[in-house]
Amino acid sequence: YDDLLVRVRELLETQEDLRRRISDIHRYIMVDEYQDTNALQAEIVRKMAFTHDNVMAVGDDAQSVYGFRGATFRNIMDFPKLFPGTQLFKLEENYRSTQPILSLANEVIGLATEKYPKTLFTRKEHGATPVLAKAVDEKDENTQSRFVAQRILEIHEEGTPLGEIAVLFRSSFHSFDLEIELARRNIPFVKRGGFKFVETAHVKDLLAHLRVIQNPRDAVSWNRLLLLIEGVGPKKSRDLVGEIFRQESNGLDVLRGASIKGAAGPGLQELVRVLEEVSEAGMTTAERLAALSEYYVPLLKAQYDDYPKRLKDLEHLQTIAERYQSLETFLADLTLEPPDESVVGVEAADREDDRLILSTIHSAKGLEWHSVFVIWVLDGKFPSLYSFAANEDLEEERRLFYVAITRAKQNLYLTCPVNVFDRTSGMVLSKPSRFLDEVRRDCLESWSLIDEDDFHG
If one counts every other C-beta atom within 10 angstroms of the C-beta of residue 372, the result is: 29
Burial class (CB in 10 A: 0-12, 13-18, 19+), 25: exposed
Helix axis angle for 219-226 and 201-214, nearest 10°, is 130
**How, if at all, do strands 55-57 and 189-192 pair?**
unpaired
Beta-bridge partners for 56: 30
- Side chain identity at residue 421, one-letter code: F
Q: Where are the domains of the chain?
A: 2-82, 99-196+344-449, 201-335
| CATH 3.40.47.10 at 201-335, yes or no | no
Cα–Cα distance, 365 to 418 (Å, whole number): 27
3-state secondary structure of 56: strand
Q: Which residues contact 280 (CB under 8 A, 6 or more apart)?
A: none
Contacts of 187 (CB under 8 A, 6+ apart): 149, 152, 153, 162, 338, 356
Angle value at C-alpha 123, between 120 and 124, nearest 5 degrees = 95
Q: How many helices (H) and strands (E) does the chain have?
A: 18, 11
192 secondary structure, DSSP code: E
Rounded to the nearest 10 degrees, what angle do helices 234-246 and 219-226 cross at? 140
Superfamily of domain covering 2-82: P-loop containing nucleotide triphosphate hydrolases (3.40.50.300)
400-419 burial by CB neighbour count: b if 16+ within 10 A, else e?
bbbbbbbbbbbbbbbbbbbb
Domains 2-82 and 99-196+344-449 share a fold: yes
Which residue in 407, 430, 411, 435 sits closest to 420, CA to CA?
430
The 3-state DSSP class for residue 131 equals: strand
pLDDT in tens, the chain (457 residues): 668 899 999 999 999 999 999 999 999 999 999 999 999 999 999 999 999 999 999 999 999 999 988 899 999 999 999 999 999 999 999 999 999 999 999 999 999 999 999 999 999 999 999 999 998 876 667 899 999 999 999 999 999 999 999 999 998 889 989 998 998 898 999 998 777 777 788 989 999 999 988 888 888 899 998 888 888 888 888 888 888 778 766 777 777 766 666 677 888 888 888 998 988 888 899 999 999 999 999 999 888 888 888 888 888 888 888 878 888 888 877 775 544 433 333 333 344 458 999 999 999 999 999 999 999 999 999 998 889 989 999 999 999 999 999 999 999 999 999 877 776 666 677 899 999 998 999 999 999 887 665 444 4
Q: What is the pTM of this model?
A: 0.76
Looking at residue 50, the DSSP 8-state letter turns out to be T
**Residues 247-250: contacts with CB under 8 Å, at least 24 apart:** 249/216, 250/216
Fold type of domain 99-196+344-449: Rossmann fold (3.40.50)
CB atoms inside a 10 Å sphere around CB 245: 13
